[in-house]
């Protein structure tokens, strides 16, 4: 009985080991492809200095740009934790996205904290709850910008970085942050967005527009 139990334990450990090695290699292949996407996006405007895996599902790469628009720039790519079965199942359950986060300093500290979340569509049905879902009449609304501020007095002066973000709202920009501390600027997108070379190039242009908007806001 003890021998059979030992065989079962060894089999489970071996299966988990094979699982880990296979999916760790899978994530590394995805990471290599994502690095190529970043290189495509930075072509002629920046380059990758070095990169390393922080964990089996998180890749960090340092970037360098010839201009002073971005300093101490780096990207963090977060993949599904496939090598760890339980974490992978939880990730799928919570529908977590694979993302790329760009972080950098702007060469001048912003005087404000700003966090921009991508707005979502809202909808409600006018049909009866007893009717079939496909037969209901849906009304869809696009909500306007919502600003939460700690200021006691708010001036209606749309910041340039807000206008830039609204201009590219059709991209998969999930979050943008400005703050006085380093990293002063960060932007997060869905990783597979960079699979399209045109979208990758336009994302870098978006980052430059947002950084320029923050610089104008400081003046």
3-class SS letters over the chain: CHHHHHHHHHHHHHHHHHHHHHHHHHHHHHHHHHHHHHHHHHCCCCEEEEEEEEECCEEEEEEECCCCCCEEEEEEEECCCCCCHHHHHHHHHCCCCCEEEEEEECCCCCCCCEEEECCCCEEEECCCCCCCHHHCCEEEECCCCCCCCCCCCCCCCCCHHHHHHHHCCCCCEEEEEECCCCCCEEEEEEHHHHHCHHHHHHHHHHHHHHHHHHHHHHC
- Specify the pLDDT at position 26: 94
* pLDDT bracket for residue 151 (50, 70, 90): low
- With a cut of 60, say whether residue 94 has pLDDT above it: yes
**The pLDDT of residue 113 is above 80:** no
Q: Is the dihedral of CA 160, 164, 167, 173 positive or negative?
A: negative
pLDDT score for 121: 54
Residue 71: pLDDT above 80? yes
- Token pair belonging to 11: 């089999």
For residue 213, pLDDT over 80 is answered with no
Whether the pLDDT of residue 124 is over 60: the answer is no
**Mean pLDDT of the 140-158 span:** 60
Residue 55: pLDDT band (50, 70, 90) is: very high
pLDDT at 145: 59
Say if residue 2's pLDDT is above 60. Answer: yes
Question: Which pLDDT score is estimated for 103?
Answer: 93
Least confident of 30-34, 43-47, 79-83: 43-47
Q: How many residues comprise the chain?
A: 219
Highest mean pLDDT among 59-63, 143-147, 186-190: 59-63
Question: With b meaning 16 or more CB within 10 Å and e meaning fewer, what string describes 38-76?
Answer: bebbbeebbebeebeeeebbebebebebeeebbbebbbb
The more confident residue out of 183 and 108 is: 183
Beta-ladder partners of 123: 140
Query: Exposed, middle or buried by CB within 10 Å (0-12, 13-18, 19+), for 114?
Result: middle
Of all residues in the chain, what percent carry a pLDDT higher than 90? 24
In the predicted model, what is the mean pLDDT of residues 125-147? 58
Mean predicted lDDT score pLDDT of the chain: 77
pLDDT tens for 159-179 read 555 555 555 555 567 888 888
Q: Name the token pair of 185.
A: 């600027």
Kindly report, residue by residue over 59-69, the tens digit of the pLDDT: 999 998 887 77
CA atoms of 42 and 205, how far apart (whole Å): 10
């Amino acid at each position: 009985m003890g021998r059979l139990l030992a065989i079962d334990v060894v089999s489970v450990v071996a299966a988990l080991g094979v699982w880990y090695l296979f999916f760790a290699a899978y994530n590394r292949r995805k990471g290599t492809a994502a690095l190529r996407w970043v290189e495509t996006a930075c072509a002629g405007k920046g380059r990758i200095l070095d990169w390393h895996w922080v964990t089996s599902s998180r890749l960090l790469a340092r970037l360098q740009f010839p201009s002073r628009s971005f300093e101490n720039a780096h990207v963090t790519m977060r993949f599904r934790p496939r090598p760890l079965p339980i974490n992978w199942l939880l990730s799928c359950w919570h529908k977590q996205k694979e993302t790329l986060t760009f972080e950098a300093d702007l060469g001048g500290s912003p005087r404000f904290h700003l966090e921009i979340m991508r707005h979502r569509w809202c909808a409600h049905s006018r049909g009866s709850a007893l009717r079939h879902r496909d037969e209901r009449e849906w009304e869809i609304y696009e909500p306007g910008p919502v600003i939460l501020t700690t200021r006691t007095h708010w001036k209606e002066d749309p910041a340039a970085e807000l206008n830039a973000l609204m201009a590219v709202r059709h991209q998969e920009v999930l979050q943008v942050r400005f703050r006085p501390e380093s990293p002063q600027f960060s932007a997060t997108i869905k990783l597979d967005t960079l699979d399209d070379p045109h979208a990758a190039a336009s994302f870098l242009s978006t980052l430059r527009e947002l950084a320029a908007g923050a610089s104008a806001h400081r003046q």
